[in-house]
Amino acid sequence: MATDTKEVKAIARYIRMSPFKVRRVLDQIRGRSYREALIILEFMPYRACEPVLKLLRSAAANAEHNAGLDRAQLVITQAFADQGPVLKRFQPRAQGRAYQIRKPTCHITVAVAVGDTV
């Protein structure tokens, strides 16, 4: 069964969210089918679900239009979040001091391929 397993991916860059918070969402959908992942993301209470859901739909659209794959057979093969640049801001504090605030960003990657299990 050495069929060509074409993997299609989508990348969302510079998402204004900590990669640590995004990873806990990605851990829940990695290895699952496309439809199952959609249901999980729809009902999870985290703010990180919104960009991940949008990205998953984009990866499925890429697979359908660019590679001719069927959405119903897609499985999430890779899902990871890398750290992006950190935006550094300052907030005034007591006695003329400046307090640094770090606003993290992340790059999210989701890859899908046709899975054998249904």
In the prediction, which pLDDT does 91 show?
Answer: 96
Q: Is the pLDDT of residue 3 over 60?
A: no
- As given in the structure block, the two tokens for residue 94 are 């007591």
Q: Output the average pLDDT for the chain.
A: 92
The answer for residues whose C-beta is within 8 angstroms of residue 9's C-beta and 6 or more apart is 59, 62, 78, 109, 110, 111, 112
**String of DSSP letters for 64-111:** HHHS---GGGEEEEEEEEEE-PPEEEEEE-GGG-EEEEEE--EEEEEE
Instruction: Render pLDDT for 63-80 as a digit per residue (tens, 0 to 9).
Output: 999 999 999 999 999 999
2 inside domain: no
* Side-chain-facing half-sphere of 101: CA atoms under 13 Å: 6
37 inside domain: yes
1 inside domain: no
Q: Note down the domain range covering 36.
A: 7-114
CATH number assigned to the domain comprising residue 92 = 3.90.470.10
**How far is Cα 66 from Cα 98, in angstroms, rounded to an integer?**
50
**How far is Cα 97 from Cα 118, in angstroms, rounded to an integer?**
59
Q: Is the pLDDT of residue 15 over 60?
A: yes
- As given in the structure block, the two tokens for residue 98 are 């400046």
Instruction: Render pLDDT for 26-59 as a digit per residue (tens, 0 to 9).
Output: 999 999 999 999 999 999 999 999 999 999 999 9
Task: State the total domains in the chain.
Answer: 1
55 inside domain: yes
43 inside domain: yes
